Structure 1
């Protein structure tokens, strides 16, 4: 689905999907490099608990080992750490925004991925803070509404979905507890200013077509573990249902 400048729509194939509006590169929040090797992360315990109980993605939180390592060491040693994912969703049109990772990223370079994402640095308690920062750095989105009260209620627009312990170090990624958020946006009015060191393109894609691409392990897209995909598309289906009922 592609949105024309007159806000009408026409059907095209998933691979032809393009951003609604022109993408700008003058992002004042953008990083100068694809990643910072000396970022400090808190090392977390693996997801299996001592009694063999599996991690509950809706209720459990990662447990710290008390260790801290820089980015390159965490990836080298396949340590568990924390990250945040933010997915921009246009429920009215059934679209989701994807970014294309730059060729200099240290994991899955050049592939289509989450709208915005990043590792959670040591000392950060509320992953929403990292989510808002990544939206600004990667997409130039700096208008996420900040509400009153203490965390985690600072950003009412960010809808928490789940935390997925994703073991991907064995196939090009890393081992991370991924806090997943959803942010409703109108694709016809969403203007992106990408951080070119990290992102080379953005597109809106039909949710159904994106699910097919992930389920079929299309190599143009960053892969996701099965439990992530199941929870992710179930949450999107609920969002779409709520939109239809409203």
Structure 2
């Protein structure tokens, strides 16, 4: 999805200040989200993989109004890191906003780089275990479902950054496709 899709986001989201980083992931300023998307600036984002006791992954269906990859599956919850915001705080915030999940321990896993389709991201990956109810953020999450990791990997319309993060989790032995 072209990065100039930021016009579909609400005015408040477009004006949100995002932490910008250089090619080595060092903070180098901030910009409004719309400018970050338009100029393909490097920025930070969080990816929280939520597993239940049956080792199923919580998959989100992105709303059609999302600025990037509308209607696609997100294999992790998360989002961009605000200006001056620590990544673990951003991960907790996104988990609470998108799924209504609070007070859950987030296990930091690793950081990775993603540069594709107009996105330039340094991603921070976390793992959470959760079996409670979900309260979806209607503006961003159309639906959520639980599925085995192997099935999640087969989803054709998964966002490429969350797919890469999941593949890296598997390669590093932090998750398994076995249930």
* TM-score, L = length of structure 1: 0.62
Does residue 233 of structure 1 match 2:178?
no
* From 128, 136, 144, the counterpart of 1:202: 144
Superposition deviation, residue 67 in structure 1: 2.9
1:122 to 83, 93, 98: 83
Deviations 1:58-91 (A, max 9, x none): xxxx112x3321111111111101111111013x
Q: Of residues 112, 134, 154 in structure 2, which corresponds to 1:192?
A: 134
Structure 1 unmatched runs, 5+: 1-32, 48-61, 145-156
Q: TM-score, structure 2 length as denominator?
A: 0.83
Q: Cα distance, 1:165 vs. partner?
A: 1.0
Change (3 A) 1:38 1:115: same
Q: Which residue of 1 aligns with 2:110?
A: 162
Q: Distance in 2 between matches of 1:36 and 1:227?
A: 25
Task: Determine if contact 1:34/1:105 at 8 Å carries over to the other structure.
Answer: no
Aligned positions, number: 170
Q: Determine which of 88, 94, 98 is the counterpart of 1:138.
A: 98
- Residue 231 of structure 1 aligns to a residue in which SS? helix
2:6 paired residue number: none
State whether residues 47 and 162 of structure 2, in contact with CA within 8 Å, keep that contact through their aligned partners in structure 1: no
Two-structure CA RMSD over aligned residues (Å)? 2.5
For 2:14 and 2:170, the matched residues in 1 are separated by 32
- Residue in structure 2 matching 1:95, options 40, 53, 56: 56
Q: Does 1:36 align with 2:36?
A: no
Does residue 176 (structure 1) correspond to residue 121 (structure 2)? The answer is yes
Larger radius of gyration: 1
Structure 2 unpaired stretches of 5+: 1-9
State yes or no: 1:46 paired with 2:23: yes
Does the CA contact (< 8 Å) of 2:17 and 2:83 recur in 1? yes
Aligned to 2:37: 75
Runs of 4+ in 1 over 4 A off after TM superposition: none
Whole-Å separation in 2 of the counterparts to 1:240 and 1:176: 25
